[in-house]
Copies of this chain bind each other. A is one copy, B any other.
Amino acid sequence: MKDKNIFIAVIGGSDCSAEEASLAEEVGREIARNGAVLVCGGLGGVMEAACRGASHEGGLTIGILPGDNRRTANPFVRIPIVTGIGYARNVAVVKSAQAVIAIDGSYGTLSEISHALQSKIPVIGLNTWSLSINGQPDNSIIPADSPKDAVKRAIELINNQYPE
């Protein structure tokens, strides 16, 4: 763990396909390989796969839980934050990160994308939502080609936004 950590959130549903889990796990691995801290909602699906990946590379994983019990965290969460505020914790997941990587398409994920964009936190997407408003596409979600590309873009955006 470096002295000044970079925090990247991985957001996605608590149920996910095998393909999405595979993407999430590789995103988690890349985050850890780059010495960044993984922030997520702490539950299963995309969140668990990402934590598993980060954990296997020795990375630090934070799970910001909706409920009242730390035991609801997936087994790869090292730092469970027990909020007790339900889905309102989605706001804290994205605000606790400097960039967000969205995988898949639950409505919870969409709420996190929205809260991130509202807070001007960059969002990188892998197989996720597309938005348009009155027929005009909104291109705020930055598409990535691969987990490696997603993490690379996240780190570049953070370094540009928060220069030393």
Contact = CB atoms under 8 A, between A and B. Distances in A.
A80 B5 CA distance: 10
A134 to B, nearest CB: 6
Nearest to A118: B107
Interface residues of A, number: 45
A interface, by DSSP: helix, strand, loop or mixed? mixed
A142 interface: no
B128 A130 contact: no
A82 B130 CA distance: 27
A65 to B, nearest CB: 9
Contacts of A82: 92, 95-96
A86 interface: yes
Interface of A: 1, 5, 37, 60, 62, 64, 68, 70, 78-88, 91-92, 95-96, 105-108, 110-111, 113-115, 117-119, 127-135, 138
